[in-house]
Amino acid sequence: MRSINLLRTAALLVGAFAAVPSLASAQLRVVATTPDLAAVARDIGGDRVNVVALAKPTEDPHFVDAKPSFIVTLNRADALIEGGAELELGWLPPLLENARNGKVAAGAPGHIVASEGIKLLEIPTSFDRSKGDIHSLGNPHFMIDPVNVKIVARNIATHFAEVDPKSAATYNANLAKFNSRLDARLVEWQKQLAPYSGAKIVTYHRDFVYLAQRFGLTIVDELEPKPGIAPSPAHLAQVIGRMKANNVRIILVQPFQNRKTAETVARQTGATVIDAPQQPGAASNTASWFDNMDNLVRAISNALGAQK
Amino acid sequence: MQFTRSTIALALFAVPAFAHAQVGPPKSKQDSIARADSIARADSIALVKQLEKELGSSAADTASTAAQAPRASGGYMNIGFVALTDAGWSSASDVGAIERGDHDPKVNGFTIPNAEISLDGAVDPYFKGFSNIVLKIEPNGETGIELEEAYALTTSLPANLQLKFGQFFTEFGRQNPQHPHSWAFVDAPLVLVRMFGPDGLRSQGLRLSWLLPTPFYTEAMVTVANATGGTTSSFRSPDSPEIHGGVIDEKPVGGFSDMLVAPRLNTSFDLTETQTIVLGASAAFGPNNSGPTAKTQIYGADIYWKWKPAAAQAGFPFLSLQAEGMLRNYDAAQRVSEADPAVTLPSETLKDRGWYAQLLWGIKPRIVAGLRGEVASGNGAVFASELRRDQSRLSPNLTWYPTEFSKFRVQYNYDNRHELGNDNSLWFQFEFLIGAHAAHKF
């Protein structure tokens, strides 16, 4: 009797342990390199996916530490979403090398390259680091142009459906919902920024070119003399001159950029420093990509409006 | 099936053929033939369109992957070159005796202790290949060259396994597998040079690694490699008489017991959102050449802790602590003295130990202040080895990285060799990197 009870207990225990992974695996385990990609993936995947982002919303996506815990996360992932424009070049390759997960290896359906099909801007014609830290595939900060994000959403939905065919209908339905919501919001965003078409702005890094192009803003200069090169006093003096000449009244900075430098320039020019985080979750109540874009457009239009 | 396939093939071939034919034929062609032509053409075009549609997604994949592959150095292989130039002065007249590492500044004045060509790339879907070829200016001014590493790494073994084979730095502790370019100080820690020799522990062999199914990162590794060679200092190295003082017991490899075996366990936790700790334990077992059955055992423990705030600028500020401790039991057999063949040295166990701890503070973007303290000591033995002398060192330093591709470093060393007295050294280091920049591991 006792041995039967023991057997039964053992069987229950084994069953319980076996059930844990099967419950967990009901959802697709998705890893996104940055929070913006993760936010779009959550909208497309809905309740069929569990998405984690490696980089923190407030962190410079160029300089993420390749923490060993990320190896474990990638090892157990069903899908990986990366930008595909070398933004993560400094930290993703060693993680993937050690993750030993064929599902997310380059070329596998679970390895999603978000920028696939996007026309990247500023593709260098020559590789020369004397021009700063340029990315050989073009400017990687493409997620703040809603039209690009439509392509990203499509890429994610296509790959999700391939990795998890039984939920394909859900992914496609979510994509359709995402697109119609995006189309509607895009009209709104364009309306909000339309009065400031041609407005001149300055940014810290070359990370707002896609937004400027979409909404007709003009980026006069960056505080960095060259991409990835720290601002020098001589360059800042030039920027101040250029801002005064062009009557530039706003400077956009992200949470990981040197706000003090921006404020110094702002004091000299009478401009305002605007917090313009590109990653969802960096500002409060911006968990989704839409919330963050709303926040970004509102911050810019308010600032430009105040200048009028 | 056969029929369908050949029909498709025929249709596909037909497209260029018809397209070609379109240019030539005069209008006086019979109507029926023209009609047949156009029907066949329409069919084949429809078929091609359908195939294109079916293949569309994969064709797009291929195109974008192809566009993504080339990097700054292009093509199928990443090529990088990194050169270290050191300059400085030490109060020690025998600089080479306090700076024993091969990539340390070993002379007063200028030197290039490490100029490294690194190559890497995917071999095929199953392997990645890596190589590091090192050139260096020896203290006598000659250029030395060494094949530092040349190995392949598997990419798709089952069960979370990974195999590395070729010549590579043995995964023992934190710093041994690192290249001088990623060191936080101008020179190698005393304890590493004592245990592993001037070039670090590396040899030809294979390493099997297993990523454990634990909720946190745990990796178990074991390396099996040749124990013989110039870079297996504590084992069967031609330079071993400097440790045990005896004539080398020459012995060909007879079996597994003649190999070097090095297990390692490495684990890591994220203590908070902004703090991570990595803990490791390593060992290395193998024969030494003081006698036919003489053995060496080395044990090590290492820790790395790092704090970086959530909104760091280009990775700054940060605080990190790295420390390693090691213990060596070198069983020296009864052996004939190399210096005097009439003398026989008794069998004895040479015991050495040492540790270092280094604190790095990334003060503001691109400026790092460092402080390293270290001690290495050995027990008394009949043969008094210069390599086993008690030594300690304190090294504050400051590094400025204009970008990730260049750095300036200044370091002061206070060396204490006990009975030989103290020395003061000041070293400057400049490094530049061109080509591909391998991503840094944590």
What is the complex's ipTM, to 2 decimals? 0.88
Q: Residue B438: what pLDDT?
A: 75
d(C-alpha B235, C-alpha B244), whole Å: 11
Question: In sequence order, what DSSP letters do the residues of chain A get, joined into one string?
Answer: -HHHHHHHHHHHHHHHHHHHHHHHTTSEEEEESSHHHHHHHHHHHGGGEEEEESS-TTS-TTS----HHHHHHHHT-SEEEE-SSSTTTTTHHHHHHHH--GGGSTTSTTEEETTTT---S---SS--GGG-S--TT-----TTSHHHHHHHHHHHHHHHHHHSGGGHHHHHHHHHHHHHHHHHHHHHHHHHHGGGTT-EEEESSS--HHHHHHHT-EEEEESSSSTTPPP-HHHHHHHHHHHHHHT--EEEE-TTS-HHHHHHHHHHHT-EEEE---STTSSTT--SHHHHHHHHHHHHHHHHHHH-
CB contact under 8 A, B313 and A89: no
B317 touches chain A (CB under 8 A): no
Nearest to B164 by CA among B177, B176, B175: B177
Per-residue pLDDT reduced to its tens digit, A86-128? 999 999 999 999 999 999 999 999 999 999 999 999 999 888 8
Q: Rounded mean pLDDT of B16-39? A: 44
d(C-alpha B15, C-alpha B41), whole Å: 7
B405 touches chain A (CB under 8 A): yes
Is A29 a residue whose pLDDT tops 90? yes
B155 touches chain A (CB under 8 A): yes
Q: Rounded mean pLDDT of B190-201? A: 97
Q: Residue B72: what pLDDT?
A: 43
Mean pLDDT lowest for which of A103-107, A203-207, B109-113, B249-253?
B249-253
Angle between helices B2-23 and B31-68 (to 10 degrees): 100
What percent of chain A has a predicted confidence (pLDDT) above 90?
86
Is A162 a residue whose pLDDT tops 60? yes
What residues in chain A have their Cβ under 8 A from chain B's Cβ atoms? 56, 58-60, 62-63, 65-69, 71-72, 75, 84, 86, 89-94, 97-98, 100, 102, 105-107, 113, 116-117, 127, 129, 133, 136-137, 158, 228-230, 255-258
CB contact under 8 A, B442 and A68: yes
Q: Residue B160: what pLDDT?
A: 97
CB contact under 8 A, B311 and A59: yes
CB contact under 8 A, A105 and B403: no
Confidence of residue B252 (pLDDT cuts 50, 70, 90): confident
Tell me how crowded residue A93 is: count the other CB atoms within 10 A of its CB.
Answer: 17
Q: Rounded mean pLDDT of A9-38? A: 68
d(C-alpha A257, C-alpha A202), whole Å: 13
Place of tokens 């997310």: A104
pTM confidence score: 0.85
Is A60 a residue whose pLDDT tops 80? yes
d(C-alpha B186, C-alpha B166), whole Å: 28
Selecting from A69, A107, A257 the residue whose C-beta is nearest the C-beta of B65 gives: A107
